[in-house]
Chain A
């Protein structure tokens, strides 16, 4: 008899899990997927591209209802699981439905963070998380409104870029002295800021937002340095936190996220968590790549196969303003680490490699990221790159010969990524 599998959430991790199970074990589970959003799961990574009209609405859809039907999977969209019982193994939905299961997977994603400042709940303040957010931003942009984007991370930059592309007058406000401080070093961040400037985004650094101004509707921001900014709309893109509310209520062990082991198992047998809601090894990943890896690992676990997620060197990809940016691993350096940099001012190319002894520990690439995944592979595999150390900064073409066999990479990995 088939086991009943409930997947709570229909985001990217959920879709990847289903896809994998369909591929490797089509007959093993009776699967139900419950998604709170009205649409079937879509590619959240492409929301900024959608806003910028670099992709169309269809492009962001991952799998539609028909696909689920064709694989005999029950997909419930626009309804949320409100409780889950760890003892009796059933879940209740907001609509009242009850679903029993043998195995349950939490793939509940994350919540966008709103700054705990006065006025953040006013109309005119939105976050950047889902398709309705994109629609709201589109409206503001088309009306050529003034938009303040708070948050100079990946998400905020993508929002600012997309809004500017669509005609809004955008100011990007960041509390730190450089953009993407968690993914980029100062020279790379400066290049990104310059590129945003070229696209019409005003970048304000070292601006701590104190409050959203306006009575009934947001009219701007007030800053700690006494200055202020007028805006018709405020986009708060300061980060996310794992959505572990349901799991916590169900009694699962939760820290920042739902605590899982290498098998993506929670502290209750038959209960699993993957993606942004999960916390593995103390890390709650906010990126799609580890979410996919977790989904695939879990699929194999459910199959009874060996499959584990043991953590992942993070890599960030940013493609805005025609300026590709990539960073991975330890790109800051530190004690005992050595950095090599390359900068070409004419093309805006910047490259930094961080070495830890004979290994490549991290990198930042700006402007030219064609070799990004090759570098990432070297970092993740932790191989000895000393034979090609002096060539490595110049890219794969120059270093591969000196690196020999070990530098050729695993084609599967590169293609998949």
Chain B
């Protein structure tokens, strides 16, 4: 990390989820950077979640790719650019431009995205530009476009403050969009906003909801179809709005009636209580202001587009759209998925919210002065990789994403990448599952904190990401990777940008080009912004048309972007899972995020305080299923689908319905072994959006009896064999590897001991009967490494060894405690970490509850838990209710 000289406080935007919080980076005297929320940013008004708060811990250069590599050898930029340019030229000459594909990321900045899109679609001539947003929110894009004629988010976050009812569908916002979730909680407290959570899982989000509807996987549309039927039956539709501004109401209603003919059928199909269903309908009808937020639970489905339209149908039918406190609000998972959509970095878009109609293609061609403009939609992510698998796509350029982890059928996709003639990865980290999947060229990329540009959050707010760090080594921003190659290929004229502001101006100009109100996305007001003006640009909502003020909301005026300017209500396909469970695969695998990690952990994995809330990959299931399988919490199961397998530790979660299991997707081969969950996920995609159904894969669960469990803490990085079930976590001073094996402790100890190195002073404990083998390596006064292999995890020892590794000097007495794996007084397990910000564990909170602290606020007063980012407040609440249920509390006056 190399802080830019004299940078002072730098206002930038968080690189994680789609909330798009403003953060202030404050370089400190020690060469580090501390983070705090930007009080002036309208997305968060100074609040940050635990991930955002820990950003300063993620800036280390461990694992960074610092120079270009060709075939695993260090190369100069000149050589690498030449290699890529020649490779692309060769593939295009032999197989045509359609043999080239770009796989981009919702974490790229808009300017990077714009340049990649322009290069591919305008100059190379390939339409195959897609992005990991396809896995995230393509169904929302498709649903929006079908209903509105444009990919438009009509609402803003302010609507969450002003709603009477907030419906969260397929969203664990408490963990995935914590700052917005806290905002909803404030609305609940301040104005009595009701919150309904629709999710097969009862999650932390449900804790802060007035009603949780545990809908069966894939049956959301049945519920919303019933809502539409009831709205009509009870005269709750806005007939004027429907008549004036929409088409398709009748067919939509007919389809909804077929899907949801009566309450009994709806109850049976959704698995919900009839009274709860009616309560939901009543509340919707009774609430003038309704915001429906939807996220991956809706999007990641083979019927995701229909699910989105099922929701939009209800908002359109009641005219509850584009009004203060009322309308649909898609929550995006990535910091710049919206920016990617704006530049057209999706296979079914061309650029700037323009598609592939001839006039649009012609307009973009003229604007770019493009020699080889793509004429038709390209292949969407899953299909793109399937084309690679079939050998049709020969050249692939991956930027800022890790498809080898996150694509469904990830193992097959990984194998496919090895077939490429040219495989280029622009990446910040040297060893990712993707760079290790046969990449020919690695181009070192600058990352968050080092690069400049803009991002757009879930409410269409464009904010600046500003740099406060020097890119290390030879790393450069991604847009430069493209412009260097483009210029080498003879496209100097189209790619002669002096800086990132110049790219932004061109992007803004394209958004306004021949727009005249015909397209929603227009930021023409900023097309002439100066370099200095760009540097200082404040967050603003688009559209911001030239000569107008930025527009708050869309569609209250009933003007949509379809050819007839009317919105469409859609008939839906009958809701059905892409693949039902059967005797062979009797469980449904749901995937998602945990609170303190984000994506494939290349950033959050570096932060010590983010590593402990959920320390390792796991499979959550309810107690009944666990009993049926004959496993208990902490046991392991092998999880098999038709596509792949993983081995995960069981966590009991009574929020899961019977027959449904949940696994976080963060862990990968760089951070674990046998835990890459997306290798298990199926690849069946939505016919419209191309988004895969990653939240309902039929799987088989087989209990694995682990003969040994243990951990290795080390100051040096240690790579464990990939056949060993393990997880890597960042700890003070080094790393901890947690592992489990069917082989005996003695065998595993004998195998792993070689990883400790030779020269160190060692201590060894050997207890063959109990199966307890330990080897500790000391270097001077410090602990260098420790390997503990036992028959089951010893959480006390793990905690103590982690703490001890971080110490610079161990006294002889401390050394004994390290070998013992405990202090004489530390016999008590303090339970799981609840509050990451203040490192407060469950037992501490439970104790406080029994001492009379019976509210989240009281816990905060005593223990500070939950008073920083607030992400853990739902969990604190649950601890309080569990403890109150288990024993009477002494009320202290």
Contact = CB atoms under 8 A, between A and B. Distances in A.
A23 interface: no
Given A344-B763, A346-B778, A397 B770 contact: no
Interface in A352-398: 355, 389-391, 393-395, 397-398
B768 A394 contact: no
Interface in B320-345: none
B761 interface: yes
B772 interface: yes
B827 A402 contact: yes
A342 B819 contact: yes
Interface in B600-621: none
A332 to B, nearest CB: 15
A160 to B, nearest CB: 28
B858 to A, nearest CB: 32
Nearest to A344: B763
Nearest to A368: B816
B769 A355 contact: yes
Contacts of A339: 767-769
Contacts of A344: 762-764, 815, 819
A269 B822 CA distance: 58
A152 B764 CA distance: 27
A47 B753 CA distance: 45
A401 B765 contact: no
B820 interface: yes
B816 A395 contact: yes
Interface in B797-828: 812, 815-817, 819-820, 822, 824-825, 827
Contact of B764 (A343, A400, A401): A343
Q: Kindly name the residue among B762, B766, B772, B825 whose own CB sees the greatest number of chain A CB atoms within 10 A.
A: B766
Residues of B in contact with A, size category: 20 to 34
Q: Kindly name the residue among A339, A342, A347 whose own CB sees the greatest number of chain B CB atoms within 10 A.
A: A342
A341 interface: yes
A338 B765 contact: no
Interface in B739-769: 761-769
B767 A390 contact: yes
A200 to B, nearest CB: 25
Contacts of B817: 398
B770 A389 contact: yes
Contacts of A395: 816, 820
Contacts of A346: 761-763, 778
A258 B578 CA distance: 92
A340 interface: yes
Nearest to A393: B765
Contact of A338 (B768, B819, B822): B768
A398 B824 contact: yes
B816 A345 contact: no
Contacts of B762: 343-346
A340 B820 CA distance: 13
Contacts of A391: 820, 822
Interface in A93-115: none
A340 B766 contact: yes
Main secondary structure of the interface of A (DSSP, over half): mixed
A347 B811 CA distance: 13
Main secondary structure of the interface of B (DSSP, over half): mixed
Contacts of A397: 816, 824
B769 to A, nearest CB: 3
A11 B189 CA distance: 89
Interface string B573-616: 00000000000000000000000000000000000000000000
A401 B769 contact: no
Q: Kindly name the residue among B770, B824, B825 whose own CB sees the greatest number of chain A CB atoms within 10 A.
A: B824
Q: Kindly name the residue among B764, B767, B778, B815 whose own CB sees the greatest number of chain A CB atoms within 10 A.
A: B767
A341 B827 contact: no
Contact of A342 (B761, B765, B769): B765
Contacts of B815: 344
B824 A401 contact: yes
Contacts of A338: 767-770
A147 B175 CA distance: 78
A393 B767 contact: yes
A390 B770 contact: yes
B772 A342 contact: no
B819 A394 contact: yes
A401 B828 CA distance: 11
Interface in A116-170: none
Contacts of A347: 812
Nearest to A349: B763
A342 B815 CA distance: 13
B816 A390 contact: no
A342 B818 CA distance: 13
A338 B770 CA distance: 9
B761 A345 contact: yes
B770 A340 contact: yes
Contacts of B767: 338-341, 390, 393
B771 to A, nearest CB: 10
A95 B825 CA distance: 66
Given A394-B819, A401-B827, A342 B768 contact: no
A406 to B, nearest CB: 17
Contact of A345 (B763, B765, B824): B763
B765 A341 contact: yes
B477 to A, nearest CB: 50
A394 B764 contact: no
B816 A394 contact: yes
B827 A343 contact: no
A341 B816 contact: no
Contacts of B824: 397-398, 400-401
Interface in A229-284: none
A43 to B, nearest CB: 32
A343 B763 CA distance: 5
A389 B143 CA distance: 63
Interface in B258-294: none
B623 to A, nearest CB: 29
Contacts of B820: 391, 394-395, 398
Contacts of B763: 342-346, 349
A339 B768 CA distance: 7
A400 B820 CA distance: 13
Nearest to B774: A342
Contact of A398 (B761, B768, B822): B822
A342 B816 CA distance: 11
Contacts of B772: 340, 390
A355 B762 CA distance: 25
Contacts of B819: 342, 344, 394
A400 B769 CA distance: 21
Nearest to A338: B769
Nearest to B766: A341
A341 B767 CA distance: 6
Contacts of B769: 338-340, 355
B742 to A, nearest CB: 22
A384 to B, nearest CB: 16
B690 to A, nearest CB: 55
Nearest to B775: A343
A338 B825 CA distance: 27
A129 to B, nearest CB: 39
A225 B815 CA distance: 45
Given A346-B778, A394-B816, A397-B824, A341 B770 contact: no
A397 B822 CA distance: 11
Nearest to A396: B824
A402 B406 CA distance: 47
A57 to B, nearest CB: 35
A201 B499 CA distance: 78
8 contacts: A343-B763, A343-B764, A344-B762, A346-B762, A394-B822, A398-B820, A398-B824, A402-B827
Q: Which 8 residue pairs spanning A and B have beta carbons closest together?
A: A338-B769, A394-B820, A346-B761, A344-B763, A340-B767, A397-B824, A341-B766, A343-B764
Given A344-B763, A346-B778, 9 more contacts: A343-B765, A345-B761, A390-B770, A391-B820, A391-B822, A393-B767, A394-B819, A394-B822, A398-B822
